[in-house]
Amino acid sequence: MVTPSPSAGTPTVTPSSIAVSVDLPHARVRVAGELDRDSAHHLLEAVEILATRSSRSWQLDAADVTFCDAGGLRALTGAHAIAASHGRSLQLVRRSRSVARLVSLLGEDEVFPPAPTSGSRSARVLCGTTRTA
């Protein structure tokens, strides 16, 4: 967030407020505060830590996220991609109003796509808004 400086009128940058915790025994990441472009890496680093454990099913608790923008939404899809790349599943177990709104606008299956079934072909990665492979 940028706030005006009381001195020469030059804006100063105030770091965003985020708290991320990892519960290794329960394979759960909890995020609270502002999930945006500047703080997204904290969520992704926390999810990477879960890969050190043997649990196949991970949980993400975003009930206390007070603000979520497109960067935060990219972090959520990135967290899912990290889980999938390690052969794990990630479930969004709780969500705040701001997270729920963005997930519903994009679509639950776009943010957290279902795991491919054993008989399906390999998953394709689609690019941005063009939806091409």
**Is 89 within a domain?**
yes
Task: Give the highest mean pLDDT range of 2-11, 39-48, 116-125.
Answer: 39-48
**Is 123 within a domain?**
no
**Is 97 within a domain?**
yes
Give the model's pLDDT for residue 7.
Answer: 46
**Is 17 within a domain?**
yes
Rounded CA gap, 1 and 19, in Å? 16
Sign of CA dihedral 76, 62, 104, 17: negative
Residue 86 CB contacts under 8 Å (≥ 6 apart), including other chains: 51
**The pLDDT of residue 10 is above 70:** no
Q: What is the CATH number of the domain that holds 37?
A: 3.30.750.24
In order of 40, 56, 104, the CA distances from 44 in angstroms are 7, 17, 21
**Is 33 within a domain?**
yes
Closest to 60 in 3D by CA, of 97, 89, 102: 89
The tens digit of pLDDT for each residue in 61-115 reads 999 999 999 999 999 999 999 999 999 999 999 999 999 998 888 888 777 777 6
The answer to whether the CB of 61 falls within 8 A of the CB of 31 is yes
Structure-token pair, residue 58 = 């991970």
**Is 1 within a domain?**
no
How many domains are contained in the chain?
1
Give the model's pLDDT for residue 16.
Answer: 59
At 4 the three-state DSSP class reads strand
Compute the average pLDDT of residues 31-51.
95
**Is 71 within a domain?**
yes
The tens digit of pLDDT for each residue in 14-25 reads 455 899 999 999
Range of the domain at 97: 12-111
Closest to 15 in 3D by CA, of 43, 45, 36, 31: 36
